[in-house]
Amino acid sequence: MELQKPRGTRDFLPEEMIKRRYIENKLRKIATHWGYGEIKTPTFEHIELFTLKSGEGILGEIYNFKDKGDREIALRPELTAPVVRMYVEELQRSPKPLKFFYFDNCFRYERPQKGRFREFFQFGVEIIGSVRPESDAEVIALAVEMLKSAGVGGDLHVGNLGIVRALLKDTRPEHQGKIMRLVDKKDDLGLEEFLDKINAPDDMRGKLFRLIGLHCENAVHEARELVGDIDAISQFKVLLDLLDVYGLEYQVDLGIARGLDYYTGMVFEIYCEGLGAQNQVCGGGSYRLAALFGGEDTPSTGYGIGFDRIMEICEVNPQPPKRIVVVSFEDTRKEAIIIANKLREHVSTYVDVMGRKFKDQISYANTIGASHVVIVGKNELDAGKVALKDMKTGEQVLVTVEEAVERVKS
């Protein structure tokens, strides 16, 4: 094999694209119905956009290069930063809230595995300008609705970073990060060890383990007992009530950390079976990034859906589009093209381009699963008609082109 696609990239053949577009259109339709407008940002950005957001540490996983003007450019590894950049650059004075969705490819230089590629697709949503739990709840509900439409059911985990952070407020910042990471990984053993190492106070330690162990109904109540009546908890309570209004099933999970500092409060993740190690199909939360990019501080909430992961597990079988084949003879090829063009206004139509004989054209129609064949022969043309053959039943009738269109459309 002389030429191969680069590692971690994929080709999508027509059969698969039908499936992907089918799901994509469902997601798109829902986002639109919920009042979100589609946006598109550049495939590449200045690399600072991403290092500002995620730290220098991400450089190792980014596709970057210097362009001919000596600018350091990165293929986008995600879409939240570009959306916020776009907002800061041209939309700060727009009426709030701003509600956007996007569907695009992203690039990360990572070791490929199941559900993880170097070029992958994200379908995401951001709502900019609201601090309130209403927007958090809407975004979560929208995520669930999208997954449902794709035939994917998952476990929804909802948390709030403010609660654990309040507990850790007296801990050194660099320790906080480490603790959050261990908590997020649900690595209780590692967490114990680390807390030992930094001599964490017993009181804090006990509360921390109890907090991240809360999953059920009265989690809010118990959390309040543990860390006091702080704002984050009241917010969280309102959010959970709203999720009930949306009729969502969820699990409280105060251990979700989502890695980075700019998440401000609500965080959520949705997990699915059947994806191996990469079982998260959706993740998001509320965050503040605008100020980091030089804009006014603006609250936002959003999420990204791992489109490829959905495709991996969704069970949909969209109907293949109906196809019909116009079959002709040596002396009627030109007429066949004209008739095919009329049919093409209504259905997907094939006409022979291989110089095949009559019989082989019908055979071809059969192998591509055509529902009908329109036969354009001298005899039919003399009568001002064509023969319409139903490939399922084998029945054949003499009709005008217009009648053929009508019959084939149904």
Partner RNA sequence: GCCUGGGUGGGGUAGCUGGUUAUCCUAUGGGACUGUGGAUCCUACGACCCGGGUUCGAAUCCCGGCCCGGGCCCCA
- Contact residues for RNA, defined by CB under 7 A: 1, 4, 6-9, 50, 53-54, 58, 61-62, 77-78, 80-81, 108, 110-116, 181, 185, 258-260, 276-278, 283, 329, 354-360, 362-367, 373, 375, 377-380, 387, 389, 391-394, 396
Closest CB to RNA among residues 216, 354: 354
Helix axes 202-212, 188-197, angle to 10 degrees: 160
CA angle 213, 214, 218 (to 5 degrees): 160
Shortest gap between Cβ of 81 and RNA (angstroms)?
7
What percentage of the chain's residues is helix, strand, coil (to nearest 5)? 40, 20, 35
Strand partners, 104: 122
- The residue among 8, 273, 292, 23 whose CA lies nearest residue 148 is 23
Closest CB to RNA among residues 238, 362: 362
Closest CB to RNA among residues 100, 233: 100
| Spatial distance between the Cα atoms of 270 and 381, rounded to a whole number of angstroms | 61
Closest CB to RNA among residues 80, 242: 80
Torsion of CA 82, 85, 86, 91, to 10 degrees: 150
Run of H or E including 344: none
Closest CB to RNA among residues 185, 215: 185
**Quick one: how far is CA 152 from the chain centroid?**
12
Shortest gap between Cβ of 47 and RNA (angstroms)?
10
Shortest gap between Cβ of 294 and RNA (angstroms)?
18
Residue written as token pair 């069970």: 315
Closest CB to RNA among residues 230, 347: 347
| Spatial distance between the Cα atoms of 278 and 354, rounded to a whole number of angstroms | 46
Please check whether residue 343 is in contact with residue 408, taking contact to mean a CB–CB distance below 8 angstroms. yes
CB-count exposure of residue 18 (10 Å: 0-12, 13-18, 19+): middle
Shortest gap between Cβ of 336 and RNA (angstroms)?
12
Closest CB to RNA among residues 14, 394: 394
Helix axes 188-197, 173-184, angle to 10 degrees: 160
- The residue among 394, 400, 399 whose CA lies nearest residue 370 is 394
Closest CB to RNA among residues 220, 290: 290
Residue 245 has which token pair? 């209004």
Shortest gap between Cβ of 334 and RNA (angstroms)?
15
Shortest gap between Cβ of 244 and RNA (angstroms)?
27
Shortest gap between Cβ of 298 and RNA (angstroms)?
17
Run of H or E including 323: strand 323-328
Shortest gap between Cβ of 191 and RNA (angstroms)?
13
